[in-house]
Structure 1
Amino acid sequence: MTRARRELVHPDTTPYYHCICRCVRRAFLCGHDAFSGKSYAHRKHWVLERLRALQSVYAVDICAYAVMSNHYHLVVRLDPELARGWSDEEVMARWNRLFSLPVLVTRYRAGETGTAAERAQAGAMIAEWRERLADLSWFMRSLNEYLARRANEEDGCKGRFWEGRFKSQALLDEAAVLTCMSYVDLNPVRAKLADTPEESDFTSIQQRIVEYSRASKHPPENKPEPERPRLMALATPAQGGHPNRFSFSTEDYLELVDWAGRAIRADKRGAIPGDLPPILSRLGLNPEQYLRHVRRGGRGHHVAALGHVDRLREAAARLGRRFLKGMSQARRLYQVHG
């Protein structure tokens, strides 16, 4: 039975979520469609451009992304605390970038409301918008509806573009976030569309490598790039003050993805490079099970949440449920028992 989104997304449980959205009938509506002979690859640029635009509106950070030919993946961090710090004027300005303001709020904004009841009603609307600007469902709605309308207009047709509502998976700890980010970033390598992470177009790992190389003053060969979203910085708690800061750096992450990318290549199926990235030990991840997770191509990503067994139990209790699907997977990934 499909559960209400509010039962799956709860920022007090975790701000991190893995989202997946597929084109209707999984058709290649964002790539080269062999059946029709048409190429829709330019629509991948639309996804990145829209993500960039939405970052100026929502209190949502992009951790990882991969835009494929018939689906896309996102790992995001919700930041309701940031939205709570915005002034009413900023909330109205941000909301107005996507939606028209009601006449009452327009009058309130101009200081033309004459009664306390009008001001209270306008304030209630602004408070609701503030919550929506840090809400995963509203963020995904603003992304998917825009892409669907634009694609349908280009095709001169009506109807569904996406298979249904997006799928989401709660990531309950930093090890879960790390595992899921690398799974997302390695999509093209796993699908044999790229040999290495740096060759994986329309992925956050390629963007991170380019940005890291530029910062290190060793830029790779220049090539045209689409407008890309801003990626959430990877930094240890000592390097940043955000309460949800990771305990791994960009260097840690790039080393891990490079290691995993080499391990899942077709000519090394089942092989594990000898030098394990230290981050696996620090986060208590089983190397074999971690590789199995990023190799699986989506199987095993249908659980509602990913994290340590203790965090799954805490999340289930918070949501008033006896358990969350994924306990056995967590025991294998984290090498725990009980």
Structure 2
Amino acid sequence: MPRPPRSSQFDASEVCIVHAVQRCVRRAFLAGLDHVSGKDYSFRKEWIRRRMEALASAFAVDVLSYAILSNHLHQIIRNRPDVAALWSDREVATRWLKVYPGRRIEEHLAEPTENDVKALCADKERLAEVRKRLSDISWFMRALAEPIARMANKQEERTGRFWEGRFKAQRIVDEAGLLACSMYVDLNPVRAAIAESPEKSVHTSAYDRIEADKGRQIISAAFDLKPIPTEEAGQKIRDTPLDQLRKERKAKRRNPTGRKVRRDGWLAPMKLKPDKLVSDAEVHTHGFRSSDRGFLNLEWADYKQLLNWTAKQSVAGATTELPKPLAKTITELGIDASMWRDLVWNWQKYFGKSSCVGSPESMKANAKRTGHHHCRGQASVSCCFS
């Protein structure tokens, strides 16, 4: 059965949450230890994480959860056209040109100048299209995948595909589906038996939040959202040797803003603020992410407790009882607490071939929205909901 068209799953003009999966070509371990050649490409996981972090600072897209494995990656992302609508024309132009500087005579500079920003601002039709693209999940994924593929091919001095094809997308249609999907994503390394616990699952959102709790910071990969003054750029090109310009550009790519950030500072906060209206965009103003809006009615401490409990239920039929406060939280979302472990650990059984994720009722409503009678997986997942 072919995958549904993107237009039926999400729209850049409306806020929605998507579980995106991008696999390496032939599911080869192109970001891990290649058992055929014996080469270890695990360092590429940090390439992917840093690129994701950089894009989170420029796009109107919130990264809620993620996990990067040796042959694929998972993300839960939320597009924010409401945030993009509040950016000034200058902000939109600068953000776009930071991600896509275009063909430039001074390739060693490759930073947008004031004149570049003004030129894009003057083209109102083009600017409107760019504003829409900055809140488009497909453009976010494109901006993530292409540079990683080019870097890997350049490193290995070869051509061809790095990624399997277009990313798989599942629309998340309610909070029950979002909680279960977030747990599934964070526990991917544990499920794959490459990490013993979330605390050791490097390159996951859970690991970043756990490390941030300990006060850990990282060098920020966020774009420096300031164009270069045109006169300064021209003078620098005239007065600075080419080799030095290239070295400076390489150094700036490592830390564009010269700042550090909490390990999870580029991720969307977890807890939704009860005093905030749904219409409030909660625009982030420090340059690390698009907004400060949370995504669950759950404190991080409670999420972590549930995450650790679920991680320990690796053996089918495990009888450890779910703590009552967490069982209550799950039950309030309509999930059968006794089926929680099965829902997360056997995710592929329930949602592996579905175009959306959520309770049977929400999946049915989403099917109706797209002109269908039901969603694939809707019947099988009903046993997990009360």
1:270 corresponds to: 317
Question: Residue 142 of structure 2 aligns to a residue in which SS?
Answer: helix
CA offset at residue 174 of structure 1?
1.0
**Residues 183, 149 of structure 1: alpha-carbon distance in 2 compared, 3 angstrom cutoff:** same
Deviations 1:275-320 (A, max 9, x none): 3323212212123433222212644322100112232222222222
Q: 1:235 aligns with which of 262, 271, 278?
A: 271
Q: What is the RMSD computed on CA atoms of the aligned residues?
A: 2.8
| 2:376 aligned with 1:325 | yes
Alignment-derived partner of residue 221 in structure 2: none
Q: Which moved more, 1:169-178 or 1:9-18?
A: 9-18
Q: Deviations over 1:245-278 (max 9, x none)?
A: 43112122111111100112xxx43214223323
1:12 shift after superposition? 7.3
For residue 186 of structure 2, what is the amino acid of its counterpart? Answer: D
Give the 3 Å change call, closer, same or farther, for CA 304–213 of structure 1 in structure 2. same
Q: Give yes or no for contact 1:306–1:330 (8 Å, CA) kept in 2.
A: no
State the partner residue of 1:32.
33
SS at match of 1:33: coil
Question: Residue 246 in 1 paired to residue 284 in 2?
Answer: no
Query: Whole-Å Cα distance in 2 between the matches of residues 112 and 195 of structure 1?
Result: 50
CA-to-aligned-CA distance 1:176-223 (integer Å, 9 cap, x gap): 1110010011011111111111111111111111223439xxxxxxxx
Query: Structure 1: where are the runs of 5+ without partners?
Result: 114-118, 216-224
Q: Secondary structure at the match of 1:44?
A: helix
Preserved CA contact (<8 Å) 1:48 1:227: no
Change (3 A) 1:36 1:283: same
Out of 343, 354, 357, the position equivalent to 1:293 is 343
Aligned to 2:203: 202
Match of 1:202, SS? coil
Q: Give the superposition deviation at 1:144.
A: 0.5
CA–CA distance in structure 1, aligned partners of residues 68 and 265 of structure 2? 12
For residues 59 and 48 of structure 2, what CA distance do their matches in structure 1 show?
16
Residue identity matched to 2:69: M
Tell me, yes or no, if structure 1 residue 167 matches structure 2 residue 168: yes
Paired with 1:271 and 1:239, the residues of 2 have a C-alpha distance of 39
In structure 2, give the amino acid aligned to 1:45. E
The alignment covers a number of residue pairs equal to: 315
Name the CA distance, whole Å, in 1 between partners of 2:345 and 2:322. 19
Determine the structure 2 residue equivalent to 1:97.
Answer: 98
Q: Corresponding residue for 1:307?
A: 358
In 2, Cα distance between equivalents of 1:322 and 1:167: 22
CA deviation string 1:44-99 (max 9, x = no partner): 00011101110121011111111111111111111110011111111111110122
Q: CA deviation at 1:108?
A: 9.0
Q: Secondary structure at the match of 2:184?
A: helix
Q: Could you state the TM-score of these two structures normalised by the residue count of structure 2?
A: 0.75
Identity over the aligned pairs, expressed in percent? Answer: 34
Distance in 2 separating the partners of 1:43 and 1:271: 35
| Distance in structure 2 (CA, Å) of the matches to 1:69 and 1:135 | 26
Following TM superposition, by how much is the alpha carbon of 1:31 offset from its aligned partner in structure 2, in angstroms?
A: 0.3
Gaps of 5+ in 2: 105-113, 217-260, 280-292
Range with greater deviation from structure 2 (20-29 or 310-319): 310-319
Aligned to 1:19: 20
The aligned runs of 1:50-129 (5 Å cut-off) are 50-100=51-101, 110=118, 122-129=123-130
